[in-house]
Amino acid sequence: MATIANEANEANRARGVDSWDDLRRDAAARAATVGLPTRASEAWRYVDCAPLAHEPAAEAAPAITVLPGSTGWKSGPIEPALVRERWAKAVVDTTDIGQIWSWSQLRDTLHLHLPKGAQGHLHCRIETPGGWHGYRILISVDRGAVGSLVLEHALGAARACTGMDVDVAQGGSLTVEEIQSGADAAQLLSSAAISIDRDAQVTWTSAWRGGALVRAHQDVRLTASGASIDFAGLARVAGKRQAHQYLRVAHVVGDTRSRQLVKNVIDDTARASFDGLIHVAKGADRSDAEQLNHNLLLAPGGRADTRPQLDIHADEVKAAHGATVGRPEDEQITYLRTRGLDSETARTLVQQGFSDEILHRFRHVHP
Amino acid sequence: MLDITNLHARVGDTPILNGIDLHIAAGEVHAIMGPNGSGKSTLAKVIAGHPTYTVTDGSITWKGADLLALPPEERATGGIFLGFQYPVEVPGVNNAEFLRLAYNARRKARGEAELKTAEFAPLLATRIRQAKMDAVFAERDLNAGFSGGQKKRNEILQMTVLEPELALLDETDSGLDIDALKIVADGINAFRNANRAIILITHYQRLLDLVQPDRVHVLAKGRIATSGDRTLAERIEADGFEAVLA
């Protein structure tokens, strides 16, 4: 098992070319100014922020690992010059605490690069057994390249702040399977900025198990005609866990397509939320967008919050959104019982079916 | 085979069935017709054990036993099948796997060994061919995204796979084009034999031209108002319910 990023980053540090110190310092100053997020903040309105007050103790070394068997992708640390060029200003400007912390606590970087016209597959595991650590991952898919990625967040009693930048160039195609496992005390703040160019496509499927606080924040920009994203997410939370999806999709120009389907299965006193916004810019005519969120509440103490939103400034736009919150459908269970399945089997099938619509999209891992 | 005596049932506080008497022997096909709201679907659902309905009086005896004492799944494994007027979509549940589970539930109730996927596949493939359905439907989610006609044909497919002794078909003909109606009718006729009984709930004569009933009953206000042979259905088609019920 090669810990490519760790080794290379340590080598850079040894050579005195660790360019992160300035960024860490700037980000720490920003973090002090911005403070902890609270529910008064619009972007955190559904999140129980109390766990953030508890900083996890460091226990074991974290690691970004590229698993054996990867093909086509080039992987290594992000070049120091690129770090300065690309993020020095962003660290100062952003108000996203997840992004700020990913810099202020930066431990590791990883650049995954799929060259022009290449095909490839890669499985990346981000392990945070304990402590508080930030990561930066840059994913570059060059023109006409076709790649798939598995991103695995494995968390102990830790806080992981993972910042991702994803650039898919003209005609490129990227399929991401993102999964998360972790302890009850796990905290994960994941922030991704995804930029999709002309005739490029991204298919992104995530499966979350939640933790003390798990929140995924994604900003998707469809920057040229023919760009498309198909996003699907599933959170299955139980106990006192929480998982939150904050998703922004911007149709910057017309003739672009987006699909979002987010499902939550909530048991015990767990909570999950979906806060989604489709923004269609002025002049982005013939954009085609759909956003759906469905929540299955298995116990009376669970909580689901949902806020699908459309912000349309163009003409001839196809845009649809919707949300449901409910218990397993009695009609579905009765239908299955009239075919001879006992009520427990029927209930299990209906619940499993609710999740399977998302889980069937996974090809390389089985969350 | 099925004996219904003085059956009363309600939904919430609203009485729907107000004293149904019906006796069906093996091998018989009974058509139940009637105006909207007369209680036809309620009767089918009460026989199948739908929990929305409460039986307040009367009895249903199935092969000599008290049917009302059984939950819906035991009625199904005991040989009763309800083809829904509005088949329910169950996303994420594979049609073929669901059918195998249902088929095995019935086998288990008869003390027979359950079939594995590979053992069940040839039987399902045969039934799909007989129902003139595309094999792709087996791999789709149960009724999810099916058209109205496809859902009805899927109900008939389920019936032919599960081989019940009593099939209650609730407006299986509604929403079908003429070709699909012919296919469904062929499926029902092929299913019909001396050991099985069928209750056809319908508004229209056209299904009864293709599946000829032994008896026709007209429901009104939760009771069987009149019964007759299949010429009764022809009279209803020609003159309407009001004339027949007058």
Contact (CB, 8 A) for A116 and A69: no
User: Pairing mode, if any, of strands B65-66 and B54-62?
Assistant: antiparallel
Residue range A57-68, pLDDT digits in tens: 776 778 888 999
The tally of CA atoms less than 13 A away on the side-chain side of residue A31 is 17
The shortest C-alpha distance from A253 to chain B (Å) reads: 31
Does A10 score more than 70 pLDDT? no
pTM: 0.77
Interchain CB contacts (distance < 8 Å): A and B: 81
pLDDT (tens digit per residue) in B164-174: 999 999 999 98
Distances from the Cα of A344 to the Cα of A109, A111, A336, A337, A340, angstroms: 47, 47, 11, 9, 12
Distance from the first to the final alpha carbon of chain B: 32
Where is mean pLDDT largest: A1-15, A34-48, A254-268?
Answer: A254-268
Kindly state whether B109 is in contact with chain A, defined as any CB-CB distance less than 8 angstroms.
yes
Task: Tell me which chain A residues have a C-beta less than 8 angstroms from the C-beta of B88.
Answer: 329, 331-332, 334-335
A61 by Cβ neighbours in 10 Å (0-12 / 13-18 / 19+) ranks as middle
Write down the mean pLDDT value for chain A. 91
Q: Where do the domains of chain A lie?
A: 4-327, 328-367
How confident is the model at residue A6, as a pLDDT? Answer: 55
Q: What is the mean pLDDT of residues A204-212?
A: 96
Would you call A341 and B102 a contact, using CB atoms and an 8 Å cutoff? Answer: yes
Chain A residue closest in CA terms to B92? A353
Instruction: Answer yes or no: are the C-beta atoms of A194 and A163 closer than 8 Å.
Output: no
User: At CA A119, angle to CA A114 and CA A122, rounded to 5?
Assistant: 65
In which region does residue B34 sit, left (phi positive, over 0), alpha (psi from -120 to 50) or beta (all else)? left
- Number of helical (H) and strand (E) elements in chain B, helices listed first: 10, 12
Report the pLDDT value the prediction gives residue A17, as an integer from 0 to 100: 52
How many C-beta atoms lie closer than 10 Å to residue B41's C-beta?
A: 21
Rounded to an integer, what distance in angstroms lies between the CA atom of residue A351 and that of residue A329?
Answer: 9
pLDDT band at A2 (very low <50, low <70, confident <90, very high): very low
Instruction: Give the number of residues written for chain B.
Output: 246
Superfamily of domain B2-245 in the CATH hierarchy: P-loop containing nucleotide triphosphate hydrolases (3.40.50.300)
User: Over the stretch B21-57, which tens digit does the pLDDT of each residue have?
Assistant: 999 999 999 999 998 899 999 999 999 999 999 999 9
Q: How confident is the model over A77-101, as pLDDT tens digits?
A: 888 778 778 888 888 888 888 889 8
What's the whole-number mean pLDDT along residues A241-262?
97
- Cβ-nearest to B92 among A343, A346, A354: A354
Q: Out of A338, A340, A353, name the one closest to residue B93 (CB).
A: A353
Is the CB of residue B183 less than 8 Å from the CB of residue B153?
A: yes
pLDDT given at position B104 = 97
pLDDT surpassing 90 at residue B2: yes
Find the Cα–Cα–Cα–Cα dihedral A356, A357, A358, A361, rounded to 10°.
Answer: 100
Structure tokens at B44: 């089918």
Q: Mind telling me how many Å the CA of A324 is from chain B's nearest CA?
A: 14
> Exposed, middle or buried: residue A11 (CB in 10 Å: 0-12, 13-18, 19+)?
exposed
Instruction: Give the mean model confidence (pLDDT) for residues B183-190.
Output: 91
Cβ separation of A355 and B92 shorter than 8 Å? yes
What's the confidence (pLDDT) of residue A15? 57
Q: What is the pLDDT of residue A1?
A: 34
**Contact yes or no for A357 and B75 at CB 8 A:** no
Does residue A14 have a pLDDT over 90? no
Instruction: Find out whether A328 and A350 touch, Cβ atoms under 8 Å.
Output: yes
Of B155, B212, B171, B152, the closest CA to residue B43 belongs to B171
pLDDT of residue A119: 98
Confirm or reject contact between B77 and chain A (CB < 8 A).
Answer: yes
First to last CA, chain A: 21
Dump pLDDT digits (tens) for A94-149: 888 888 988 888 888 899 999 999 999 999 999 998 888 999 999 999 999 999 99
Of B72, B105, B142, the CB nearest to A334: B72
User: What is the ipTM for the molecules in this complex?
Assistant: 0.95
